[in-house]
Amino acid sequence: MTSSRPMDVPIIRLGDVLVTGLINELDDKAATAFAEELTERIAAERAKGVLIDISRLEIIDSFVARTLTELSTMARLLGARVIVAGMRPPVAITLAELGLQLTGVETALNAEQGMAALGWHHAPRPPEGGTRSEALG
């Protein structure tokens, strides 16, 4: 069953956090495969957090929204916290207008802030009042 999975999305482990991202639109099969692999990895690697970067997604329909909500619920059941990071403004507007609030899904502005929210302070925080480029660099 697991061998049939056509995963084109890598799942990277950084400490106790799993980092992954959605690149293309998900279809039914890919979404199931993705959920399956993610849950297995969470269980196997005892991850405490999952970061899903969606900054490449230009369209999120009700199906993807539901998938994200479900992933978040599954992960919570396995003891991991899911953060969805980097939603684009037009996507957020569309979801809000459709009334899809991704209830129960935590969001972060970008991957960096999402990792910070998962307690992953790799680099020291930029000095107070640091410029934008410093903060990004």
Closest C-alpha to 82, from 42, 45, 44, 109 = 42
- If the CB atoms of residues 33 and 108 are measured against another protein, the closer one turns out to be 108
For the bound state, the minimum distance from the C-beta of residue 87 to another protein, rounded and expressed in Å, comes to 5
- If the CB atoms of residues 30 and 85 are measured against another protein, the closer one turns out to be 85
For the bound state, the minimum distance from the C-beta of residue 20 to another protein, rounded and expressed in Å, comes to 17
Q: List alpha helices for 8-88, DSSP H.
A: 28-45, 62-77
The upper half-sphere exposure of residue 49, i.e. CA atoms within 13 Å in the direction of its Cβ, equals 20
For the bound state, the minimum distance from the C-beta of residue 7 to another protein, rounded and expressed in Å, comes to 25
Residues that bind another protein in the complex, under the rule CB under 8 A: 83-93, 95-97, 101-102, 107-110, 113-114, 128-132, 135
